[in-house]
Structure 1
Amino acid sequence: MTKRTLPTLDLKRGYARIKDEIDVAVKEVFESQYFIMGPTLSAFESDVERYLEVPRAIGCASGSDALLLALMALDLKPGDEVITTPYSFFATVSCITRLGATPVFADIDGDSYNVTAESVLSKVTERTKAFIPVHLFGQMVHLEKMRSELEGKGIAIIEDCAQSFGSWREIDGAPVRSGSYGVMGCFSFFPTKNLGCCGDGGMVVSRDQALADRLAKLRVHGAGTTYYHDEVGLNSRLDAIQAAILRVKLRHLDRWNEERRAAADRYKLLFAENDLLDLVTPPSEDEGNYHIYHQYVPRVQGDRDGLVDFLGKEGITSRVYYPVPLHLQRCFSFLGYGEGDCPVSEKLSRQSIALPIFPELEADEQEWVVSTIARFYGKN
């Protein structure tokens, strides 16, 4: 008898729902033989511009490149400082150090896992050139509490939206999409994202036309016209096949995000029904936020790593995002940070666990996950 298993994300289930649409879209690209740049990419960029209500969207090769291109467009140089979070994926900070600039870490809120205005503003110096907020796990940072002060000092806000395509926050009585509030927004289309392609892919959006024009050149080796290079850029293009796939998926994204939200609500109810709320703290959704639950990450008491192992032995995959905060990573030791410098991030790195969540997740599978957690804690 085959052992029952559950991954954190089941891409096969998602593909099965839209297989016919994907097949048609990819076939059209092959029939056109227009694989790099071209009309399919332009059409997807236009789709994103309408969805996010931004003037320009520029496809690129990955979310990591999106961040790097954004900082290159700001002419970041050695000696410049960029404020960001220590509780994120590696690319959030590597893009800063690759250009010789200095990351400055602002600690996070223990409920939302996002940086706070207070922590960010306390880190501003005369050398601060940019701030990279990460809309972690699918909900937005409270940017309205700091944008005026930061931009008043000439500090650019570059939103890291790798985990938040489709999320929004109510600001001044209106919904503001992730990526549309700062001067630039950077997205990843890695296959596991809420809007994911079938390979690597990324995008930078901007409300500044001059920056957008420069980004469009930087992604093609800095060339304004083919073989005429204004500066040294990157070879970082979103190919037409990935753009075609993303056009299809974008049409379904809002429904999928609603299904993720329903799964998150169900987890919270199940934790309560299994008398686990003293041991498992569900992720919070800040007032005014539309959380899309790219990951479902509660905090747990006791032996978190033991729980991960216990779930795995039962066939349930869980993950830890992130086991070592960025300020404590060996490669960034030259920055001089140590234990205790970002205490909330450090605490969460010991307590957080990512449980399975995806649009097609079944109620009985969630019941299995939560009942297994209850058994680990001796609740049943």
Structure 2
Amino acid sequence: MQVPFLNLKAEYESLRQDIDKEIHDVLDSGYFVLGEKVKEFEKEFAEYLGAARVVTVNSGTSALYLAVRALNIGHGDEVITTANTFVATCEAIAMTGATPRLVDALPETYNMDPKRLKSAINSKTKALMPVHLYGLPADMEEIMGIASEFGIPVIEDAAQAHGAECVVYGKTMKVGTIGDLGCFSFYPSKNLGCYGEGGAVVTNSDELAAKVEMLRDHGQEKKHLHTEIGGNFRMSAFQGAVLNVKLKRLDEFNRRRIELAEVYSKGLADTPVVLPNSEKEKTHVYHLYVVQTDRRDEVREHLNEQGIGTGIHFPIPIHFCDAFRYLGYKKGDFPVSEALSRRVLSLPMYPQLKEEQVKLTSKTIAEFLS
């Protein structure tokens, strides 16, 4: 039995009728950039999240970049984020001219360590950017408390956590709505993915939403009235159409991911691998099911030989990337992130995955490590 790491074709087959209708509606409309399908998605996603505004863009990276720009952050400023993240988190900061300031992750959750975050704040700090890695919310109550103490805005990188929730000051909130701005990616593999590139900025501030809307369309307040240097960050109508269909199934698909994660955890319980952390008062939506093992590369090779796909998220911490050597960090500065990069292994995880495929994957790992 083959177990592909990802199977987007199977997902499409489960949605084919509705997706095809939406796509043909766009073709019939003759309107292919932004338009009614995108407006509909912005409205529905805002309602789903419990947010005032959603502004769609053409990628998650663009969403992060525009969120930083919306706060007027640039040269000479710093934004604190985690060393254990996808490179886009730091790219978005650097593209504004600001400097990413890194802090280490917590070994239990792989997310930003709030205590290290607090100690990294200085006079140049203009925003905090926690990442909800793999679908597990960061420690937002503690992070928001730090942000409030220092009067610093928060940008959530929620690219991997559509629909995840956590309790903040006694209130259950969806990630992306807790900070001043939240950023989502709709890359096809995400819990809520389109059929191309897409992203969104979420906020409860009309002022920030208006700024993002202006920047995504060449910095124009009105047609041909360009008040700032922006760019072309608009979402295509086709992506809005696809997302309208898939948003309706997001909670169902997330529940399925949680069920599959429980099957994995049961099958791997008596093995030496470290299982994902699930915390009280947080809903993990398992964009990725990530385990740790000292024999990561051996396990991965064995699974590949058995026809089971895997991934590594992420093999190189940000401070080891050549593009970010200029930050001046050295080996040993972020020991948790460095250890994770050597040990983490992502197993197949998507709603169309069959339970027997999960059991086979778990059994194959257990037998290899026994």
TM band (smaller chain): over 0.9
State the SS of the aligned residue for 2:79. Answer: strand
Contact 1:308 1:318 (8 Å CA) reproduced: yes
The Cα shift of 1:116 comes to 2.1
| Counterpart AA for 2:86 | F
Structure 1 stretches of 4+ moved >3 Å: none
Contact 1:54 1:207 (8 Å CA) reproduced: yes
| Counterpart AA for 1:131 | L
Q: Tell me what 2:256 maps to.
A: 259
| Counterpart AA for 2:360 | W
- CA displacement 1:111-145 (0-9 Å, x = unmatched): 11101221111100011001111000001111111
| Counterpart AA for 1:265 | E
The question of 1:299 aligning with 2:292 is answered yes
The Cα shift of 1:22 comes to 0.5
Contact 2:194 2:242 (8 Å CA) reproduced: yes
Identity level (%): 38
State the SS of the aligned residue for 1:298. Answer: strand
- CA displacement 1:260-312 (0-9 Å, x = unmatched): 0000001111113xx31xx11110112210000000001113x2111111111
TM-score (norm 1): 0.95
Identify which of 307, 312, 316 aligns with 1:324.
316
The Cα shift of 1:365 comes to 0.7
What RMSD, in angstroms, separates the aligned Cα atoms of the two structures?
1.1
Distance 1:81 1:200 in 2: 28
- Structural mapping, 1:74-85, within 5 Å: 74-85=71-82
Identify which of 34, 38, 55 aligns with 1:41.
38
- CA displacement 1:66-92 (0-9 Å, x = unmatched): 001111111112111110001111100
- Structure 2: give runs of 5+ residues left out of the alignment: none
Contact 2:141 2:167 (8 Å CA) reproduced: no
Distance 1:157 1:166 in 2: 19
| Counterpart AA for 1:313 | E
- Structure 1: give runs of 5+ residues left out of the alignment: none
The Cα shift of 1:62 comes to 0.3
The question of 1:335 aligning with 2:345 is answered no
Contact 1:129 1:154 (8 Å CA) reproduced: no
CA distance change for structure 1 residues 151 and 221 in 2, over 3 Å: closer, same or farther? farther
The question of 1:24 aligning with 2:21 is answered yes
Q: Tell me what 2:141 maps to.
A: 144
- Structural mapping, 1:82-93, within 5 Å: 82-93=79-90
Q: Tell me what 1:289 maps to.
A: 282
State the SS of the aligned residue for 2:221. Answer: strand
| Counterpart AA for 1:307 | V
State the SS of the aligned residue for 2:357. Answer: helix
Distance 1:207 1:126 in 2: 26
Distance 1:361 1:208 in 2: 39
| Counterpart AA for 1:372 | T
Identify which of 150, 156, 163 aligns with 1:153.
150
Distance 1:201 1:157 in 2: 22
The Cα shift of 1:318 comes to 0.6
Contact 2:192 2:247 (8 Å CA) reproduced: yes
The Cα shift of 1:174 comes to 2.5
